[in-house]
Amino acid sequence: MFNKHTLLTGAVLATVLGITFTSCKDDDNPTPPPPTPRSKSFDLKGTGADKDTKVGNITLTENKDSTVNVVLNLTKNTKDAAHNIYLIAGTPTAATTDTLYKGGFQGTGAALKVDIFTNKNKITVFKAGGQTKDTAFKYDNALAIASYMKVLKGTDTLAIGNFGKNN
């Protein structure tokens, strides 16, 4: 009689354990973790005697919502002077008339950070003759555009460097 109860108890226990393990099974389709935002930096060099000296960089970062940020970091600028920033399609030796960004800042005389684009997924390109064109500007689009950045104080170029496809 003891063997009958042991056999029945074992069968019941195996059934209960099987149900327990089945109900605790992990989800077959877990939600994947969000992708790690991508980032890339491009060096800016000085001109003249500083042509081989890194004087800053431009950093492109991707946000979780697929928009991008472009930040200009300069190690030097002229205190209390107006500086102009241009992001232009092409290369410094073969520029086009397409301007992707035009802006400026007041110099501090110290290292400086300037937000060029924040949370952008498209930009307006200024073309010759005053025409404009909206262009996709997500991470891969920004890297695919051959362009360069130029920082000027008056007519003097303070920093220059390629951005995107040229690198």
117-136: per-residue pLDDT in tens? 999 999 999 988 889 999 99
* Mean pLDDT, the chain, integer: 86
| Residue 31 predicted with pLDDT over 80 | no
- Residues above pLDDT 70, as percent of the chain: 80
* CATH class given for the domain over 39-164: mainly beta
| Residue 94 predicted with pLDDT over 60 | yes
Give pLDDT, residue 97.
Answer: 83
DSSP annotation string for the chain: -HHHHHHHHHHHHHHHHHHHHHHTPPPSSPPPPPPPPPEEEEEEE--GGGTTSEEEEEEEEE-TTS-EEEEEEES---TT-EEEEEEEEEETTEEEEEEEEEEEEE--SS-EEEEEEEEESEEEEE-GGG-EEEEE-SHHHHHHSEEEEEEEETTEEEEEEEEETT-
